[in-house]
């Protein structure tokens, strides 16, 4: 598990990028934490820079939306989903359990 930050450092509506083998974006949606691959499946954009709207994040570049719960993409230009990762909160710290690369989401 990768430690991310104290829960207090990631208030609702905010996102943080975590360096890992593949960078990961962690979001706080009204107190619920979600983690997905940070790099958009279309091109090289950081989804942590995107716009959070409910449980979806809009890519900051070309506006494909990804569902934080499933990783599914709503529409072009991205065609493939992002991986989702499990978030664990322990002792006031946010951690991410990184999924292995091929988790059969597609």
Residues that bind ligand FES in the complex, under the rule CB under 6 A: 40, 42-43, 45, 59, 61-62, 64, 77-78
How near is the Cβ of 43 to ligand FES at its closest, in Å?
Answer: 4
Q: Which is nearer to ligand FES, 38 or 94 (CB)?
A: 38
Helices (H), the chain: none
Does residue number 43 form part of the binding site for other proteins (CB under 8 A)?
yes
User: Can you tell me the distance from the alpha carbon of 75 to that of 19, in angstroms, rounded to the nearest whole number?
Assistant: 27
Each residue 44-63 as x (binds other proteins by CB under 8 A) or -, in order, gives -xx-xxxx------x-xxxx
Can you read off the two tokens belonging to residue 25? 């974006």
Provide the 3-class DSSP secondary structure of residue 11. Answer: coil
Q: Check: CB of residue 94 under 8 Å from CB of residue 85.
A: no
How near is the Cβ of 47 to ligand FES at its closest, in Å?
Answer: 8
């Amino acid at each position: 598990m990768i430690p991310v930050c104290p829960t207090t450092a990631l208030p609702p509506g905010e996102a943080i990028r975590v360096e890992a083998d593949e960078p990961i974006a962690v979001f706080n949606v009204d107190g619920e934490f979600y983690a997905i691959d940070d790099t958009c499946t279309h091109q090289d954009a950081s989804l942590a820079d995107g716009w959070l709207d409910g449980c979806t994040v809009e890519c900051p570049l070309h506006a494909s939306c990804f569902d934080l719960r499933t990783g599914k993409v709503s529409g072009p230009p991205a065609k493939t989903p992002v991986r989702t990762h499990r978030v664990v909160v322990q002792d006031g710290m946010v951690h991410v359990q990184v999924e292995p690369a091929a988790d059969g989401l597609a």
